[in-house]
Structure 1
Amino acid sequence: MPVKFSNKKLLEVACGTGYWTQYIAETAQSIVAIDINKEVIEIAQKKKYPPGKVGFEIVDIYNLAAFNGLFEAAFGGFIWSHIPVEKLSDFIDVVHERVLKNGLIIFVDNKYVEGSSTPVFKTDDAGNTYQRRRLQDNTEHLVLKNFPKAEEISRLLSSRATDLEYIELENYWVIKYRKA
């Protein structure tokens, strides 16, 4: 499914190194790409984008109230799974505060695929799942990585979304909807 935001003013949450930004910029009118991490923003800024279309800001996704602007669309690539279950509802509300009514919102993230995904190492009392990951320097870290089911996403968005579409791919899921 191609992600097209034709002629839309878009907010990209947790843009990371700008992987998705470079593709979305091909069709969007403009993008404000945000991330809390200065180092990944610096990497993203070095990529080539159509002139005058993309701006970057260091912003905490849990505190978008301090960030000005309303957008016609929002996109989040591979951030949903890193939001603690207990903060997910607030996260969606905060993103929605920055999107106009009936605005297009798309999230894409990993599905858990047995034998392909890094195994879940632990689950906490809130239901968050964690993977154990080893870095190149041989240090190990627990990384929050939730794998929501379609029903959980639908339940969370039921009063917040219209035209909700859940697309399940082999290794990923995509949700596309309009802000209610």
Structure 2
Amino acid sequence: MATTMLKGNTVNLAGNEVNVGDKAPEVTVVNSEGLADVKVGGAQGVKQLIIVVPSLDTAVCATETRNFNKRASELEGVKTTVVSMDLPFASGRFCSAEGIDNLTVASDFRNKDFANAYGVLIADGALAGVTCRAIFAIDENGVVTYKEIVPEITAEPDYDSALNAVK
């Protein structure tokens, strides 16, 4: 079972661990705009950057999403999606207030299919039931080319490595 840390305490992750070189599972999540289904993963004919955060309602997740929104505008032909367990209504309000318009913000609240398929569901501790902080880059053929499970949930990811993985 994979793990991460929350304020220095080990947190177990549930679900199927996905690694570099694996086929990225195709999963349906819910867009924060209009509650439309959004497919992430799988072979989509374009590169994908999937940014996983626990909740946009926290300072680190909000900062991370703002940073990726700004930097995603530099990426050509890359489908960039932020996935959390936040309700689509809450993430929609966040996007409107913060001007998030260069990426898709989606929710895995219905069945936790994404969190389980990618092995990023926090299984225990204070944040049990939400996603950890992680990033997956997927090539046009649906193969995972980059993975980061951020070692400390309260820390920001390695932005440069993630973005370089899809350039």
TM-score, structure 2 as length reference: 0.36
* Greater relative contact order structure (CA < 8 Å, 6+ sep): 2
